[in-house]
Amino acid sequence: MDSQQQAAVGVDPPVVKRSIVAGAIGVLVHWFDWAIYAYMSTTIATIFFPAQDPTAGLLSVFAVFAVSFAIRPIGSLIFGPLGDRIGRRKTLSIVIVTMTAATLLVGLLPGYESIGILAPILLIVARLLQGLAAGGEFGSAATFLAEFSPRKHRGFGVSWLEVGSLLGFLVASLTVFVLSTVLNSEAIAAWGWRIPFLLAAPLGVIGFYIRQKIEDTPDFQALQENDNVAETPLRDLFTGSWRQFLQMCGIEVMMHVTFYIVLVYLLTYQAQHLELSSSNAAMASTVTSLVALVLVPLFGALSDRVGRKPLLIGSGIALMAGGYPLFMLMEGGSLVSVLMSQIGLGAILALILGTHAVSIAEIFPTRVRQGGLSIGYNLTAAVFAGTVPYLMTYLIDETGNVFVPAFYLMLVGAVGLVAALTLRETVGKNLLTSQDVPKNTTAEDPASAQRT
């Protein structure tokens, strides 16, 4: 049936459920790989870099990590507009195959002692491939979920994207915990470190299979039927939707900085400034992830009832009002005070994660949606997310003020608040705009008639 007929009958609920799995599983694979590389960094340093200076080796591992982060905007420039030209499903399939192959390659690489300088070179190549593919994952998946989710439940449907990212973190930490429990340090250094990277292969195969079994989104099919697929999506994005792009960047700066401070940097912060044991810090981080995991879809569903804008405004206000008090609570130093603080920060993070993706997906026309989401997300990630650990460490060292992370959260909360205030409410919006379909047609957003 064509898109107009599909709009009349709606997308079957089983198809919607499969689309949610198809969209979320790639994000899970991406963040699983990202977390595993970070968790295994000390071991990777000894395997791939000369053992003359352990610190230099560790810095080299983090440098490779930073390179893969910095290349993501290039990946977004490739895969974002590509999805607006050839479709969401095809791009998602290309991305997950590339991402899985790069992760698998790391698990199969010989070490420095076996092939010398070629080992770190191949590691860099693998991480560059992973970074390029990761540059296309979020925008492709968010667009895919937004265009498949029923209009009345779009916030809930898209929120599962971030459930996938949090699950990736949790599965990675659980994998490393099991390895360190079952194997001794010698076995992990000899071969055990490869297991998590090899696990990405079956996850990727499952994700590819699911994505291949689903048709492209009804909205993109409507573009094809109306012969209105963007021929120059990148140019169209920055000539026709630059305001939406700037609004998105403001929201994403708030999201990225909060995400990396709460789930990544706090592990280092607590060890350095609170003298919290690594096991207690890891436990607190896991609790935070679990809290966010439960709350994200609830906030996504809430946005379907009260709107995106109130929750985004609330997110900015919560960071501005709660950042400093929650860090003061954390400075109490006890495990209880740390847990209470992180639960509060996790709840604010969940409020942002449950709302941001659907909000930015709804502000772009369908013709340039994937490009806009991909480029804006990864550009702000490269500039603001990847610099969080270094910037926080540097500023605390220079100022002697341990509340720098709280002030930074308050600042990005203000940025997000300003961006949210400029947005129009988009809940229940028809994703197919006048830019997407000719005026003489009656094409309707296929999600509008989906079963509820």
Predicted local distance difference test score (pLDDT) of residue 167:
94
**For residue 423, what is the DSSP state?**
S
pLDDT of residue 46: 84
**What distance in Å separates the CA atoms of residue 375 and residue 380, rounded to the nearest whole number?**
8
CA distance 306 to 427: 8
Query: CA dist 375 to 84, 134, 254, 324, 379, Å?
Result: 12, 12, 16, 32, 6
Q: What angle do CA 132, 136, 141 make, to 5 degrees?
A: 150
Domains annotated on the chain, with CATH: 1-224 (1.20.1250.20), 230-425 (1.20.1250.20)
Q: What is the pLDDT of residue 14?
A: 79
Taking alpha carbons only, the member of 361, 87, 84, 379 closest to residue 232 is 84
Report residue 8 as tokens.
């009349």
How far from chain centre, in Å, is Cα 433? 26
Burial of 102-135, coded b for 16+ CB within 10 Å and e otherwise, reads bbbbbbebebbeeeeeebbebbbebbbbbbbbbb
88-99 pLDDT, tens digit each: 999 999 999 999
Q: Which helix (H) or strand (E) holds 56?
A: helix 54-70
DSSP 149-191: S-GGGHHHHHHHHHHHHHHHHHHHHHHHHHHHHHS-HHHIIII
Q: Show Cβ contacts of residue 328 under 8 Å, excluding neighbours closer than 6 positions.
A: 403, 406
Q: Give me the tens of pLDDT residue by residue for the chain, a chain 452 residues long.
A: 444 444 334 567 777 888 888 888 989 998 998 888 878 877 888 888 876 566 666 667 777 777 888 899 999 999 999 999 999 999 999 999 999 999 999 999 999 889 988 988 899 999 999 999 999 999 999 999 999 999 999 999 999 999 999 999 898 888 888 888 888 888 988 999 999 999 988 988 998 988 888 889 999 999 988 888 988 989 999 999 999 999 999 999 999 999 999 988 888 888 888 888 877 888 888 899 999 999 999 999 999 999 999 999 999 999 999 999 999 999 987 889 999 999 999 999 999 999 999 999 999 999 999 999 999 999 999 999 878 888 888 899 889 999 999 999 999 999 999 999 999 999 988 888 777 776 555 445 555 444 44
Tokens of 313: 């405004």
Calpha distance 302→354 (Å, rounded): 9
Q: What is the pLDDT of residues 402-445, one digit of tens each?
A: 999 999 999 999 999 999 999 999 998 888 877 777 655 544 55
pLDDT at 4: 42
Query: What's the CA gap between 324 and 194, in Å, rounded?
Result: 41
Contact 344, 326 (CB under 8 A): yes
Distance CA 106, CA 47 (A): 11
